[in-house]
Amino acid sequence: MAALGFFSIALPCLAIAALTGFAACRGQRRRVFKALAAVLLTAGLTCALIPIGIVARFLTL
């Protein structure tokens, strides 16, 4: 039950934080921030899509 709470509450919160960091780093001029923006985008999308995949999986059972 705790794992379900993690996937349905914590991961979307991490996705919001990562995508906010992506938006902040995207506008910077240095290459380090551009690379960090790419990492944060990947992490944010992953954290956002995992709960959707779990719900889709449960609906197909």
Structure confidence by residue, pLDDT tens digits, 4-57: 778 888 999 999 999 999 999 998 999 999 999 999 999 999 999 998 998 899
- Rounded Cα distance between 18 and 38, Å, is 10
> Which residue ranges make up each domain of the chain?
2-59
Q: Name the pTM for this structure.
A: 0.82
Q: Select from 48, 54, 56, 53 the least CA-distant residue to 11.
A: 48
Whole-number pLDDT of residue 5: 79
pLDDT category at 2 given cuts 50, 70, 90 is: confident
pLDDT recorded at residue 20:
96
What's the confidence (pLDDT) of residue 30? 94
